[in-house]
Structure 1
Amino acid sequence: MTSEPAVSPAPATLEPPLDPRLAEALDLVSDAVYVLGRDGRYLVFNRAAEQYFGASRDLVLGREIWEVFPQGRGTPFEAAVRKALDEGAESRFETASAVRPNHKVELRIAPLTGVGVAIALSDISGRDAADQRLQLLVNELNHRVKNSMAVVQGLARQSFAASRSLEQAREDFTGRLVAFAAAHDVITEQNWEGAHLRQLIERTIAGQLLANRRVVLEGPHVRIAPKTALSLALALHELATNAFKYGALSNDEGQVRVSWTASGAAGAIRLHLTWAESGGPPVAQPERRGFGVRLLERALAVDLGGQVRLRFEPAGLVCEIEAPAS
């Protein structure tokens, strides 16, 4: 039960016997406020109450509350009103709204010395919805933190297990963490709703390489899902690291061309990205497949349902990635 009156036309109207300035002040309040005299009749019905209940105060003032709101008899609301009038006790509680379906209200009942009782009503449906959204965000944050920790643990395990020295392990691990953090920055700027592919590539690859055309980017505007962005950032970092150590970026003439296209309907768009190196030292099939190669070949395929094809061509490494963008 709620305290809102199911308003019907009143047979008579009365002006509130309170200071008119009080009524004017209450009209500035956003909560619905009404005042009952000691005889249970409405003395004040502010503008917010009119808007909430959809009734003019002229139809309510002077009427006895139980005449307007008979369903309130025998409820905790009546007990709270009686307690305020007889004992001067305040009450505060939440209940379902009888005026607005699926809405929830908070009622605050307090005695007014020498007058009667004041009742303030707040629609708290929006607050409850906000609390639910906040809880969802907290749950989502916990989920993402756990996933991120799992990725970091995997990077640490593989970096230190596969490297030939502790110094090399630190370098590999640090580089991968930086790439992972850069991808997080891009996604966070978009409120974790996705990332712009070009921006992700630019953050992952050193800007100077893009400025002097050592790395050339070609492709349309594509927005990719957060999970795709994180895995793709790690893949691009491994490709760039390999290019610096052994490939096209290890000399002064080599170049990397990153091109991409997107196909498919909305909600099922797939990304096709190609990393093609040229002008570097001659390339041969590696005898040992390191962590970087394994990450490229497996991470997107396993985590995203994508495909990665590496071709060690004499002119330079070519990596083709196909993965869901959305």
Structure 2
Amino acid sequence: MAAETQSSIGKLHHELRAAGDGLVGNAEVLRGVLAGCGDCIKILDLEGRLQFMSEGGKRVMEVDDFAPLKGCPWPDFWAGQGNSDAKSAVETALAGGTGRFKGAANTAKGNPRYWDVQVSPIVGDDGRPTHLLSISRDITEEWQAQAALNDAAERQAFLTQELEHRIKNTLTTVGAIANQTMRGDEHAVVRHAFMARLIALGHAHDILTKTSWSGAPIAQVIEGALRPHATEVERIKTTGPSAELTPKQALGLALAVHELATNALKYGALSNSTGTIDISWSNDQSGFRFTWAEHGGPRVIEPPPERMSFGSRLIERMLANDFDGNVTTTYMPAGFKCELAAPAITPHV
């Protein structure tokens, strides 16, 4: 330890000589460093009692007269957990290590500050500690900024949960109204279709809630929309890179995938026991592409334009609008295909 210390001092002297004449052994250099440094530099004895405080330290700690503080147990300047951390840091330094912690402590004038502290040994010629060096850096502004961010995050989480609770209540109310409005067997098909769309919308809302409505992973959105058709999931293949959809895009795609799956169950590839569906997407500089391709289902016959269903209109118009792109549906005999071409999806803040 002594050899290492001598080596460090020799290196310091070498660098000071290289910087200019008269710097080695110059007390004014040391005084200038201690006065100009914004950290609170202190020397403690081996009992952890305060022996010295730099001029810069007195300034940041708002100490006008150091005399009453000299000899005071340094850990006692900290309260609660900070006191335990300070004692632990002293013990670590006495053992030859460097103790570090962060905590709150008031200045001599009672103003609250938050500090990043380290305590290390000052060794003598025999390699044993003779004193302890404590350096405290004022990080109050950083701490306050982080605390404000934490408070904002907690508030955002609370508001998001409250919003989701109200949305769920609203969806439940809408569902109840729909059931009452469309009572009777003659409305059973319409009622079922409406409730299924409402459930798909609810799944998308659940995904968005987990991210505080900042966005939703496309794979999770598609998986949630297909969940009501879980018995057929082994016949549906999905491939594509990770991408974060905006809330608007997530809701639009969830409803569109639900409609596509519902139509496939009624008329397309999932209406028999052999059909399959490939869902794929890509996202690069050339743009975002989403494809729904059915194979092996009944022979496809294109419906007349005047018979286009609400679900088809939702797919072609709402999906295109939500992605600011174009949707193309192709009724090929071998299988129905739906393709979306839109601008690339970029990460959003």
TM-score for both structures, normalised by structure 2: 0.53
> Which residues in structure 2 correspond to 1:128-277 (within 5 Å)?
128-134=148-154, 165-190=186-211, 192-205=213-226, 206-211=229-234, 214-264=235-285, 270-277=287-294
Q: Distance in 1 between matches of 2:147 and 2:318?
A: 42
Corresponding position of 1:310 = 329
The structural deviation recorded for 1:33 is 3.3
> Which amino acid in structure 1 is aligned with residue 68 of structure 2?
L
> Which amino acid in structure 1 is aligned with residue 104 of structure 2?
D
TM-score for both structures, normalised by structure 1: 0.56
Structure 2 counterpart of 1:290, from 298, 309, 327: 309
Change in 2 beyond 3 A, CA 1:21/1:51: closer
SS in 2 for 1:259: strand
Normalized per residue, the structure richer in helix is 2
SS in 1 for 2:290: strand
Corresponding position of 1:14 = 68
Is the contact made by 1:271 and 1:322 (CA closer than 8 Å) also made in structure 2?
yes
What fraction of aligned residue pairs are identical, expressed as a percent? Answer: 31
Q: Distance in 2 between matches of 1:152 and 1:182?
A: 13
Deviations 1:83-119 (A, max 9, x none): xxxxxxxxxxxxxxxx989959xxxxxxxxxxxxxxx
Corresponding position of 2:297 = 280
> Which amino acid in structure 2 is aligned with residue 23 of structure 1?
D
> Which amino acid in structure 1 is aligned with residue 336 of structure 2?
L
SS in 2 for 1:28: helix
The structural deviation recorded for 1:11 is 6.3
How many residues get paired?
A: 244
Change in 2 beyond 3 A, CA 1:157/1:261: farther
The structural deviation recorded for 1:309 is 1.1
Is the contact made by 1:261 and 1:272 (CA closer than 8 Å) also made in structure 2?
yes
Q: Distance in 2 between matches of 1:132 and 1:306?
A: 35
Change in 2 beyond 3 A, CA 1:125/1:158: same
Deviations 1:12-71 (A, max 9, x none): 5134799x69936636184323677xxxxx9xx9xx869489xxxxxxxxxxxxxxxxxx
The structural deviation recorded for 1:158 is 11
Q: Distance in 2 between matches of 1:227 and 1:153?
A: 22
The structural deviation recorded for 1:233 is 1.1
Is the contact made by 2:164 and 2:209 (CA closer than 8 Å) also made in structure 1?
no
SS in 2 for 1:260: strand
Deviations 1:130-150 (A, max 9, x none): 444455566777888899999
Q: Distance in 2 between matches of 1:291 and 1:319?
A: 16
The structural deviation recorded for 1:241 is 0.4
The structural deviation recorded for 1:218 is 3.3
For structure 2, list consecutive stretches of 5 or more residues without a partner in the other structure: 1-57, 85-102, 118-136
Is the contact made by 1:152 and 1:177 (CA closer than 8 Å) also made in structure 2?
no
Is the contact made by 2:218 and 2:242 (CA closer than 8 Å) also made in structure 1?
yes
Of stretches 167-176 and 282-291 in structure 1, the one that deviates more from structure 2 is 282-291
The structural deviation recorded for 1:305 is 1.0
Q: Distance in 1 between matches of 2:190 and 2:250?
A: 24
Q: Distance in 2 between matches of 1:156 and 1:318?
A: 35
